[in-house]
Structures are given as structure tokens and as C-alpha cells.
Structure 1
Amino acid sequence: MNNYVIIDGRFKSIGEELKKYGFNVILTKKNMKVYDAISFHPDIQLFVDEEEKKIFVDKQFYEYYAKRIKGYEIIEGEAVEGGYPNSAKYNAVKFEKKVVHNFKYTEKNILKHIEKKKYKKIDVKQGYTNCNIINLKDKLITEDNGIYKNLKNRGEKILKLNKVEVDLIGMNYGFIGGATGFFENKLFFTGEIKKNPYYIKIKEFVGNNVEMVSLNLGRLQDVGTIIFMRGN
């Protein structure tokens, strides 16, 4: 089985660690049309519906990903340029048969797909939704109070953290969702999660069946999410 992982192209060391787990690592290319902090972030460039084997990609990078990913339908989407909220087009979160995003900003092909598949739309104010959520498929973790209240009120299993110490290149801080990625029973972190003040709280929430893996030394780094895809 050829499983893929997409990682911010500036973090090759994390990519090397992920290769040890048998993943085919794809490093992102820089989007020259957005601000530098997010210019390599996967969740700024694409959205994956793994269940349907579809990937919606910023047309600037369509050929790049189409050459490297097999077994998925790659759909050419709108270009991402400028700052927020245009930069949030692909930053939605899918879990189960639900999608969370600020749907005013969602890329048009993704929106059509969501409506065609009749996924439940959970509309939130935060456009950088994926950056702000750790997606465990049946459980979610966030720092965003609006996201937390919205999903908690809908009966979702969600943990609210106060501000987590996460670095982001060129910015004062990053987000916890952007510093993680989940695949099968492993929750990967871009830094030493055991040294994070929220380690115990997260571990208790995810349960004993989920292994928490640190891919790097030092503080957590927001890399625009580690995006995993199961191969054929």
C-alpha cells in the first residue's frame, strides 16, 4: 500500500521522520502569491476527501500533485492569492459525513462536492478552520472558542484547549491543528508534545488506542497540517 503524506516544504526533517513510517512524502512548493508564513502550507493549497478519493487543488499546483499522487481524482480548483479570507479557500475540515468551514470562503468546487454528496455543513466564523482543529475523525480538538461552542452544541466529541504554545514562521504564534496530523491510530506532532503543558489533557482525551508521536525536537511548529492520504 502506497500511503502519502504532504508536508510544508520547509520542514524536510519532519518529512524524513515520516519516511521511517513508510509514507511516500510530498514536500509542498511555495505559493508566491500569499504571505510568507503560510506560503508552503498544505491546507492552503488543497483539500482531501479521502473517503471519495478526491483531492481539490489550487490550479497553480495541479500538475505538481497530479504527477505525484496516484489513486485519487485530482480536481483543479481556484487559485489562492493574497491574504485572508481568500487564503482560506481550501482550509475546511471533513470528518465522518460532515464538513466544518466558513462557507462564505470555501473554494467553489469543494462547495459543489459537499452539496452533491449531501455532507452536513457546519458553518463557523473561522475561515482557517483546518488550522484550528485536530481532526481525529470521531473526535476533535480546538483552541477556537467559536468552533468549540458550535460543535459542542451539536453533540460532537470536542476538547477545548486554551492558547497552546505553537510557533509559526514569521508570525507571533500558530495554531494547534496546523502542528499535527492524524493517520490510523497515530497522532503526529511537529514538536515534543510531552513537553507541552497540554500533553496530559490531550492524551486523556484521545485515549489509549491513539499513539502520540513527536516528529521533531523543541516547540510545536504550525506547518499547515500534516495531510495524510491512504493509498491503494
Structure 2
Amino acid sequence: MKFLEKSFIPQKKVSHIIIDARIPKDIEYELKNRNIEIIKTCGCEELYEAVKYHPDMQICHLGKRDLVVAPNLYEQYKNILTEYEFNIIKGTNYIKNKYPYNISYNVALFGEYAIHNFKYTDENIIQYIHDNNIKKINVKQGYCKCCICIVDESSIITSDKGIYKEVSKYNEIDCLLIKTGSIDLFDMNYGFIGGVSGLLDCDELAFLGDIKKHPDYNKIKEFVNKRGKKIISLGKNKLIDLGSIIPVMTRKE
């Protein structure tokens, strides 16, 4: 197996992902049927119930072996992930229940860009951004990875108008704005497009549930297909927000 060179964007077939431990059985079956090993998250008691297992609230994959983990869960993840030879970096910001003190690791990293409310980003992630000359796009929205579906190094999908407005200032980034809602998130009103998606190969974008049930399916399909990728539905039910599919390792072949 091989580590991803960059966060969220695999160059080959994905072999390992990190995902919410409450993953529905049908979706888990579909992933395992693709020979993908599922690394299930730990629950963070400081977060409210709907998102307490969401990986994008707890972990930020910087690429390669490096994972920044909230200190609340550092020891648990160190025990779980050591066998995979990850470099587990202990974050400086403890996750707390209330916004904005629960967003420190919810950063959208893709290609040469990082999108977040950088007032609250963990300093380890900030250091990585600076060291790698990544362009910061500052937004008011703190749940950036939740709200952003990463299609490739210069293409994203979001329902957040604030993110869309800021990203539109960058001519080199393509951004599709879709309707809010039509995504389950346990006891919350609705979930978000970033939380239901993730790349499983260089040309496969997967969704947790049936993307055809989303009212903007045709727009999403056209946008993704134009970028040389196909859409994979990992279930037959309504989309469910599990805090992103986070690909972390690929096959060597």
C-alpha cells in the first residue's frame, strides 16, 4: 500500500479510508466489495451526537503519512493508526462542543488551495499550509470540509453561498453551487455535500447513498463527468452525511 501524496486526491485505486464508525451496513458492504479497508473513527464526547464520529471534525490528513488529530482523541487514534505507519501529529486545539471551537480540523485541502475560517484553524495545519505555499481562501463558514465536495485539484461542489462567492474570485477554480438539503445527518435538519463524498480512485467520485436522489443530480453528474470522472453511488437510500470519505492509502499496482 502507498500513502496519498496529497489530501483527499488519490492518484490510484484507494485501499484504505477513514470514515464514521456508524456507517450503514449496505455502504460498508459496497466499500469492502471494492477491497477497501475501512478505518472507523472514535467518538468525540465533546461534539454533539450527530457529528461525534465525523472524521472531518477530528482529523486533518495533510497528505503522505501525516495526520493531525485533535488532542481529545490523540491517544485513541495513535493506538488505532500506528499499525498503518501514519505519522500522528497531536493538534493544539481541543475540540469543544460549541461553534467555532469545534472547527479547527475541518479544513478543505485540494491541490494548491486550502479553504477555512483561518482564525480557528489548528496551528499544525497552518504551518503545513505555509511550508507548502498553499493558497489560503478565508471564509466565514467553519465547517468547510463538510460543505465542500472535492472533485479534483481545481474543482469543487458546495451548497454554501459564502464559499462559492469567495472561490469564484479565483479563475483557476471551478465551483458548482447546488441546492441546500436533501442529505440526511442523523437528528439534524440536513447534511452537506462534502460529508457524503470522497474520491476512491483518480477517476471515481463516490457518494454515501444514492446521488440520483439529490435534486441537483444532473448538474452534479455533468460537472463531474466534464472533469473526466464517473460517479459512484454506494447505496440505494437517501444520501447520508458521515463527515466525508477520507482516502488515506492507495494500492501500489
Amino acid paired to 1:229: V
Once residues 178 and 24 of structure 2 are traced to their aligned partners in structure 1, the CA distance between those partners, rounded to angstroms, is 29
TM-score, structure 2 as length reference:
0.86
Q: State the Cα RMSD in Å.
A: 1.7
Amino acid paired to 2:44: N
Once residues 60 and 115 of structure 1 are traced to their aligned partners in structure 2, the CA distance between those partners, rounded to angstroms, is 25
Give the conservation status (yes or no) of the 8 Å contact 2:179–2:216.
no
Once residues 68 and 229 of structure 1 are traced to their aligned partners in structure 2, the CA distance between those partners, rounded to angstroms, is 14
Give the conservation status (yes or no) of the 8 Å contact 2:181–2:190.
no
Q: Which residue of 1 aligns with 2:89?
A: 75
Q: Which residue of 2 aligns with 1:147?
A: 163
Give the 4+ runs in structure 1 shifted more than 4 A: none
TM-score, structure 1 as length reference:
0.93
Higher relative contact order (CA 8 A, sep 6+): 2
Equivalent positions of 1:2-151 (< 5 A) are 3-13=15-25, 14-50=27-63, 52-69=64-81, 70-77=84-91, 78-137=93-152, 138-151=154-167
- State the percentage of identical aligned residues: 38
Equivalent positions of 1:181-192 (< 5 A) are 181-183=198-200, 184-192=202-210
Once residues 181 and 125 of structure 2 are traced to their aligned partners in structure 1, the CA distance between those partners, rounded to angstroms, is 30
Amino acid paired to 2:105: Y
Amino acid paired to 1:223: L
Amino acid paired to 2:248: M
Task: Name stretches of at least 5 consecutive residues in structure 2 with no aligned partner.
Answer: 3-14
15-24 or 172-181: bigger deviation: 15-24
Give the conservation status (yes or no) of the 8 Å contact 1:48–1:56.
yes
Amino acid paired to 1:80: I
Once residues 71 and 135 of structure 1 are traced to their aligned partners in structure 2, the CA distance between those partners, rounded to angstroms, is 26
What is the SS of the residue equivalent to 1:83? coil
**TM superposition shift of 1:102:** 0.4
Once residues 71 and 17 of structure 1 are traced to their aligned partners in structure 2, the CA distance between those partners, rounded to angstroms, is 26
Q: Which residue of 2 aligns with 1:157?
A: 174
Once residues 210 and 107 of structure 1 are traced to their aligned partners in structure 2, the CA distance between those partners, rounded to angstroms, is 32
Amino acid paired to 1:153: K
Deviation sequence 1:74-107 (CA, Å, 0-9, x none): 1111321212111111000111121110001111
Once residues 60 and 102 of structure 1 are traced to their aligned partners in structure 2, the CA distance between those partners, rounded to angstroms, is 21
* Residue among 228, 233, 236 paired with 1:214: 233
Aligned length: 231
Give the conservation status (yes or no) of the 8 Å contact 1:131–1:178.
yes
Give the conservation status (yes or no) of the 8 Å contact 2:19–2:39.
yes
Q: Which residue of 1 aligns with 2:10?
A: none
Deviation sequence 1:175-215 (CA, Å, 0-9, x none): 11111112321111111112322111111001163121111
Amino acid paired to 2:29: E
Give the conservation status (yes or no) of the 8 Å contact 1:12–1:27.
no
**TM superposition shift of 1:118:** 2.0
5-14 or 64-73: bigger deviation: 64-73
Once residues 203 and 98 of structure 2 are traced to their aligned partners in structure 1, the CA distance between those partners, rounded to angstroms, is 35
What is the SS of the residue equivalent to 1:166? coil
Give the conservation status (yes or no) of the 8 Å contact 2:46–2:97.
yes
